[in-house]
Amino acid sequence: MSRPAYPALVWERAVLETKEFVRSRDQMIFIFAFPIIFLVLFGAILGGAEIGAGVNFTEYFLAGMIATGILNTGFQSLAIGIAIDRDNDVLKRLYGTPLPASAFFAGKVLHVLMVSIVQIALLLAVGALAYGINLPTDPDRWITFAWVFLLGTAASTLLGIGASSLPKTGRAASAIITPIVLVLQFISGVFFVFTQLPTWLQNFAELFPLKWLAQGMRSVFLPEEFAELEARMSWEHSTIAIMLVVWLVLGSILALTTFRWQRAGDR
């Protein structure tokens, strides 16, 4: 008998995680409905206001919600979920099996990718049907989408795995992780137009990945002319790629160095 192939293990884990995710209704509703509720809410409150270059706030916000959805699924939900799994000895049990740690992580990334694709498809469908937002037809735009999406998801997921070791208990996880995401959403051009923030706050936000993820998504879904209205009058694709790769590397280091299979004090 041969040992299970690595890709088969990753797939096995991703399918299992997705099965559990679909069955935990409240988590699924949070992940899928939350961005849509926000889109509808912000659309109703600020929707018609034009930002410039023929772009209204709903369109700007849609790109931001896609970006933050990736962070919510990959970073927030994952970090909290892993912290709870650690508390319940789920991770300890996995550590006792021959499953390689990297296959466990890769399975998480693949699971987050599958969930995020559904989440984005739902958001785009609501955007297109309810707000008449035109989806890009240029294949170059979709290529941009693909790499921003993949890099953003991978970085968020690995940061989520790393951050899952910050809270001491699963119960504390939500209280520690959620504010980080909330602050980033306010300063990264999701809830507010980025260029309307004070310069010092813009500079601060530029250190973190969500700002770049949101800008990357705007470069996919907003008209080319809008690039002029960005902070540096350009989409800055190369800076986006560099920043996301930097956070991907940081996330990998964090995940590999801080990740714990067991509760603190249980070793």
Partner 1 sequence: MTGLRKTYGSKHAVDGLDLTIKTGEVFALLGPNGAGKSTTVEILEGYRKRNAGDVTVLGVDPAHPTREWRERLGIMLQSTSSVTLLTAREAIAHTARLYPNPRNVDEVIAEVGLEEKADARANTLSGGQRRRLDVALAVIGRPELVFLDEPTTGFDPEARRQFWRLIETLRDGGTTILLTTHYLDEAEYLADRVAVIANGSLVALDTPKGLRRRAENSTVSWTDAAGHQSVATTTPTAVVRDLLAKHKGEIPDLEVRNPSLEDVYLELIGQADADLADAISQKAQA
Chain residues that interact with partner 1, rule: CB under 8 A: 1-4, 8-9, 12, 16, 19-20, 23-24, 88-90, 92-93, 95-100, 262, 266-267
Q: How far apart are CA 21 and CA 36, in angstroms?
A: 19
Nearest alpha carbon to residue 21 among 150, 115, 119: 115
Nearer to partner 1, 4 or 52 (CB): 4
Nearest alpha carbon to residue 69 among 213, 244, 228: 213
Distances, alpha carbon 78 to alpha carbons 74, 125, 213, in Å: 6, 25, 18
Nearer to partner 1, 4 or 179 (CB): 4
Alpha helices in 88-231 (DSSP H): 90-95, 101-131, 139-163, 170-187, 199-205, 209-221
Residue 26 CB, shortest distance to partner 1, in Å, is 11
Residue 267 CB, shortest distance to partner 1, in Å, is 5
Backbone angles phi and psi of 261, in degrees to 5:
-85, -20
Nearer to partner 1, 171 or 232 (CB): 171
* 154, 248 Cβ separation under 8 angstroms: yes
Backbone angles phi and psi of 183, in degrees to 5:
-60, -45
Nearer to partner 1, 19 or 171 (CB): 19
Residue 263 CB, shortest distance to partner 1, in Å, is 11
Nearer to partner 1, 90 or 250 (CB): 90
Nearest alpha carbon to residue 163 among 151, 175, 149: 175
Token pair of 224, please? 């080319």
Residue 188 CB, shortest distance to partner 1, in Å, is 33
**CA 40 to mean position of chain CA atoms:** 20
Nearer to partner 1, 99 or 250 (CB): 99
Residue 73 CB, shortest distance to partner 1, in Å, is 18
Residue 19 CB, shortest distance to partner 1, in Å, is 7
Residue 107 CB, shortest distance to partner 1, in Å, is 11
Nearer to partner 1, 23 or 129 (CB): 23
Q: How far apart are CA 49 and CA 194, in angstroms?
A: 15
Q: How far apart are CA 131 and CA 267, in angstroms?
A: 54
Nearer to partner 1, 19 or 232 (CB): 19
State the number of CA atoms in the 13 A half-sphere of 115 facing the CB.
34
Residue 18 CB, shortest distance to partner 1, in Å, is 11
Tokens 């706050």 correspond to what residue? 201
